[in-house]
Amino acid sequence: MTRISTSTFRVRYAETDQMGVAYHPHYLVWCEIGRTDFIRDLGISYAELERRGHLLAVAEASVRYAASARYDDVIRVDTRLVAVKSRTLTFAYEIHRDEPDPAALATATTTLISLDRDGAPRRLPDTVLDLFRAAEHPDTGADMIRG
């Protein structure tokens, strides 16, 4: 089963400030790209989860920045699922620049909570939990960038 999902893309001009540096909130958008790809790699999509009545809302997010990304850099986001509970999923991300000069840019974590359409916490069904648990990577990120 997939334990790490890798997403690759270029920094778009709209994501940068006038100096060509990627604006810091976009790193969370890049985490969403990684998380969406991770879930899709498991054989289900966010859209399908929502059709089934399970909305995943970000309950907590943390980013630790190490270096700047710039316009047109090739970015790689490595995503791992590090904790699965009946109502929450915690993902860890390592964000790197692959081109033009490879560098570790940031690490991040997000915790998502499963909600029903009324916004109440809802247990994920066992079939979905089993899928996520099979992909869980228990490493809590000890190998991630240290400040």
Tell me which residues are annotated as active site: 17
* Closest of 87, 130, 133, 88 to residue 109, by C-alpha: 88
Strand, coil or helix: 100: coil
Could you tell me which residues are beta bridge partners of residue 7? Answer: 77
- Tell me the backbone φ, ψ of residue 127, rounded to 5 degrees: -65, -40
DSSP 123: P
